[in-house]
């Protein structure tokens, strides 16, 4: 939640949501139940126009290559927060795999309406690029010597 709070403070100024996150962060462990977290998380997902669909989260259209430390540090952060952190790593000279960087820059999306959200269209375009690359690779391999 603190990643989203920092992002909201620096980018949006969405004060009501910021206050709710701050209030959650002040709760004791007993008060910060999964139910309370879930309600706040749903508000964040709605604010950032993302889907909380577990089926979508575990498809190849929602996967990128990250080192273990970076991946774990993201947890369930929304796309805008992940994008900001990944680009900061890249600017600091920390290696980010090219395709992962391209995902967060939306290089695979034919139309970029908003770089801060990962949409179904973005997932579809990314999956299409993966498919084209694999078909090209395997078709090229099966043709044999020229």
Residue 116 lies in a domain: yes
**Residue 51's pLDDT band (boundaries 50, 70, 90)?**
low
DSSP code for 28: -
Position 130 in a domain: yes
Q: Which pLDDT value is given to residue 93?
A: 92
Give per-residue pLDDT as tens, 89-144: 889 998 888 988 999 899 999 888 777 778 888 888 999 999 999 998 888 764 44
Residue 28 sits in the same domain as residue 67:
no
Q: What CA–CA distances, in Å, run from 144 to 135, 138, 141?
A: 15, 11, 7
Tell me, yes or no, whether 39 and 97 share the same domain: no
Are residues 14 and 74 located together in one domain of the fold? no
Judge whether 142 lies within some domain: no
The rounded mean pLDDT for the chain is: 78
Cα 36 from chain centre: 23
Q: Give the domain extent around 74.
A: 52-136
Does 106 lie in the same domain as 66?
yes
Clarify whether residues 71 and 127 are in a common domain. Answer: yes
| Residue 125 belongs to a domain | yes
Please report whether residue 14 resides in a domain.
Answer: yes
């Amino acid at each position: 939640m603190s990643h989203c709070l920092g992002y909201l403070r620096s980018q949006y100024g969405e004060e009501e949501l910021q206050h709710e996150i701050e209030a959650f962060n002040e709760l004791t462990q007993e008060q910060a139940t999964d139910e309370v977290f879930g309600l706040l998380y749903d508000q964040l997902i709605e604010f950032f126009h993302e889907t909380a669909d577990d089926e979508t989260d575990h498809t190849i259209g929602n996967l990128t290559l990250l080192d273990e430390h970076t991946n774990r540090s993201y947890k369930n952060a929304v796309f805008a927060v992940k994008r900001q952190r990944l680009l900061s790593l890249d600017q600091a000279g920390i290696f980010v795999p090219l395709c992962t960087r391209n995902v967060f820059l939306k290089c695979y999306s034919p139309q970029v309406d908003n770089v801060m959200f990962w949409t179904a269209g973005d997932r579809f375009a990314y999956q299409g690029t993966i498919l084209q690359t694999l078909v090209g690779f395997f078709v090229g391999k099966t043709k044999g010597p020229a």
